[in-house]
Amino acid sequence: MIINGKEREFAYTVEAADEIGKLCKDGDVKNLDSLFAGTGQEGMKNDIKIALILNRAAEDRKAYFDPHYHPEYLTEADFKFFLVPDLTRLEAEFAKVMTADAAVTVETKEPEQTGKKK
């Protein structure tokens, strides 16, 4: 997603899930919707908190795999002049990332034929 003229990435890592969970009711990420049960302003602030966590996870992950990469984290100031529609797109972006990164995929293949008959 482009934020303030720069492409920004998000990742839902184990650490990010833990940090987001700590924001949720009962400290459980399964209660993510609890972050949006209050006022609209609280929900918007929580959107930004989640975006910062997911961006930090993406930047840290890139730096882990590329020691020459220097993370450039988003800050709250990057969202100061966001319009509400921008925030809606941000929510969609991190919802997509959280769903995709949390998905479990399993590859299967057909059993090999041994040539033996039963």
Does the predicted model carry a pTM greater than 0.85?
no
Q: What residue spans define the domains of the chain?
A: 2-102
Query: H or E segment at 26?
Result: none
Positions in the chain short of pLDDT 70: 103-118
Q: Which helix (H) or strand (E) holds 1?
A: none
C-beta separation of 8 from 2 below 8 A = yes
DSSP classification of residue 67: T
| Segment holding 3, helix H or strand E | strand 2-3
Residue 19 sits at the vertex; the CA angle it makes with 13 and 22, to the nearest 5 degrees, is 140
Give the bridge partners for 7, in sequence order. 2
Q: Tens digits of per-residue pLDDT, 83-115?
A: 888 988 998 898 898 888 776 555 666 666 666
